Amino acid sequence: MLSEKMEAALNKQVNWEMYSAYLYLSMSSYLESKGLAGGAHYMKAQAQEEMIHAMKIFDFVNERGGRAVLEAIEAPPSDWDSPLAVFEHAYEHEQHVTKLINGLMDLALEERDHATQIFLQWFVSEQVEEEASASGVVEQLKLAGDKGLFLVDKELGQRPMPIPIPKGGE
């Protein structure tokens, strides 16, 4: 059974993961409007991945005897100065999400909630991958410059769309 404090914190994270999906969809739309179909595809895949994360937490809260409660999702920005600025924002966003996940882990440790600690370990590992991915694109865009943007965009379009994880699955 989840404590009230842990339940509230996990519900907040569900909202944040859904906001992340909104943010990445907004980034996708911006990139599409700039003729960067590959980057737009990459961000759509990222948005889908964030919704999978939200649903994993949503299901976990309910499975642990809590109740997933949804709140309004804040509107994300819709304009950036450049494709590079989009990916720099994505990288900063993932760093913030890492801090949020670490805060959840700290709370689970403080409350001696071993089941939640085990559950959150997947997210801790996932955030290492998320930050590395976003950082890698930022570095590629910086190296490529404006003249190489189309090559990076083509590569970004090769990202596979995530497959939703069945309830209770990894």
For the chain, what is the domain count? 1
Residues in the chain: 170
* Mean pLDDT value of segment 12-36: 97
- Alpha-carbon span 57 to 70, nearest angstrom: 12
Domain residues for the domain of 127 are 4-156
In a domain, 13, yes or no: yes
8 Å CB contact between 19 and 73: yes
Q: Taking 80 as the threshold, does the pLDDT of residue 142 lie above it?
A: yes
The amino acid sitting at 40 is: A
In a domain, 167, yes or no: no
In a domain, 163, yes or no: no
Model pLDDT, residue 103: 98
* Mean pLDDT value of segment 70-98: 97
In a domain, 49, yes or no: yes
- Alpha-carbon span 141 to 45, nearest angstrom: 19
Between 53-57, 59-63, 142-146, the lowest mean confidence (pLDDT) is in 142-146
Q: Taking 90 as the threshold, does the pLDDT of residue 169 lie above it?
A: no
- Please give the torsion angle defined by the CA atoms of residues 35, 137, 155 and 161, in that order, rounded to the nearest 10 degrees: -90
Q: Taking 70 as the threshold, does the pLDDT of residue 170 lie above it?
A: no
In a domain, 107, yes or no: yes
Model pLDDT, residue 53: 97
In a domain, 76, yes or no: yes
Q: Taking 60 as the threshold, does the pLDDT of residue 152 lie above it?
A: yes
Model pLDDT, residue 168: 54
Angle, alpha carbons 132-137-141 (nearest 5°): 150
Q: At what angle do helices 4-33 and 83-110 cross, to 10 degrees?
A: 170
Q: Taking 80 as the threshold, does the pLDDT of residue 26 lie above it?
A: yes
In a domain, 116, yes or no: yes
Model pLDDT, residue 148: 82
Please enumerate in sequence order all residues whose Cβ is within 8 A of that of 166, keeping only pairs 6 or more positions apart, or say none: none
- Please give the torsion angle defined by the CA atoms of residues 115, 117, 120 and 121, in that order, rounded to the nearest 10 degrees: -110
Percentage, residues of the chain above pLDDT 70 = 96
Q: Other CB atoms closer than 10 Å to residue 11's CB: what's the count?
A: 20
Give SS3 for 1: coil
Q: Other CB atoms closer than 10 Å to residue 62's CB: what's the count?
A: 13
In a domain, 169, yes or no: no
Instruction: Tell me the pLDDT band of 166, cut-offs 50, 70 and 90.
Output: low
Please enumerate in sequence order all residues whose Cβ is within 8 A of that of 53, keeping only pairs 6 or more positions apart, or say none: 17, 20, 123, 126
Model pLDDT, residue 31: 97
The CATH number covering residue 138 comes to 1.20.1260.10
